[in-house]
């Protein structure tokens, strides 16, 4: 439970596909199942953190035709499983997923910032009251 609380206090980091890729260097292998599919290793601009991965997984699970939308995170790569006939559609879908995930991360970060500011203000008020009480005890008051 403590680990989960610590993860929720962190701010998330947005992740995108690499802006410029050497398509000839992208690793493409045949998938074991189904046999007509291929695994395409798409490089990301950085390894996704816990927050980004959580939102990405939620986006993926909420997408239509989940069983046809196979994707996995491996380090700083997204593994897209698709067939040659579906590659265009899957790339567009993946880009939308990444964009939506990054919007969720931004909302999460904004919420976390509001919570942090509220906690800081609460802590400030607590210390301010301690100081005022001490001043009342040690200084003449009206």
Across the beta sheet with 77-82, the strand order is 28-30, 38-43, 77-82, 70-74
pLDDT in tens, the chain (142 residues): 445 455 456 789 999 999 888 999 999 999 887 678 999 999 999 999 999 999 999 988 887 666 566 899 999 999 999 999 999 999 999 999 999 999 999 999 999 999 888 888 888 899 998 998 898 888 887 7
Could you tell me if residue 134 is inside a domain? no
CATH of the domain at 73: 3.30.70
Could you tell me if residue 109 is inside a domain? no
Task: Give me the pLDDT at residue 69, please.
Answer: 67
Could you tell me if residue 125 is inside a domain? no
The pTM assigned to this predicted structure is 0.75
- How many separate domains does the chain show? 1
Could you tell me if residue 56 is inside a domain? yes
Domain limits for position 88: 2-104
Could you tell me if residue 98 is inside a domain? yes
Task: Give me the pLDDT at residue 21, please.
Answer: 87
Could you tell me if residue 137 is inside a domain? no
What does the DSSP assignment read for 30-83?
E-SSSTT-EEEEEEBSS---HHHHHHHHHHHHHSTTGGG-EEEEETTEEEEEE-
What b-and-e string marks burial along 67-77, b requiring 16 or more CB atoms within 10 Å of the CB? eebbbebeeeb
């Amino acid at each position: 439970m403590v680990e989960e609380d610590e993860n929720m206090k962190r701010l998330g980091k947005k992740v995108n596909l690499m802006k410029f890729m050497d398509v000839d260097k992208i690793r493409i292998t045949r998938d074991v199942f189904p046999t007509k599919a291929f695994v395409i290793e798409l490089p990301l601009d950085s390894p996704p953190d816990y927050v980004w991965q959580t939102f990405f997984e939620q986006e993926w699970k909420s997408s239509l035709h989940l069983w046809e939308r196979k994707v996995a995170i491996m380090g700083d790569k997204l593994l897209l499983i698709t067939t040659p006939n579906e590659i265009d559609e899957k790339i567009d879908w993946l880009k939308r997923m990444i964009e939506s995930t990054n919007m969720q991360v931004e909302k999460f970060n904004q919420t976390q910032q509001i919570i942090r500011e509220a906690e800081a203000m609460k802590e400030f008020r607590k210390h301010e009251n301690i100081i005022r009480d001490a001043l009342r005890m040690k200084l003449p008051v009206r």
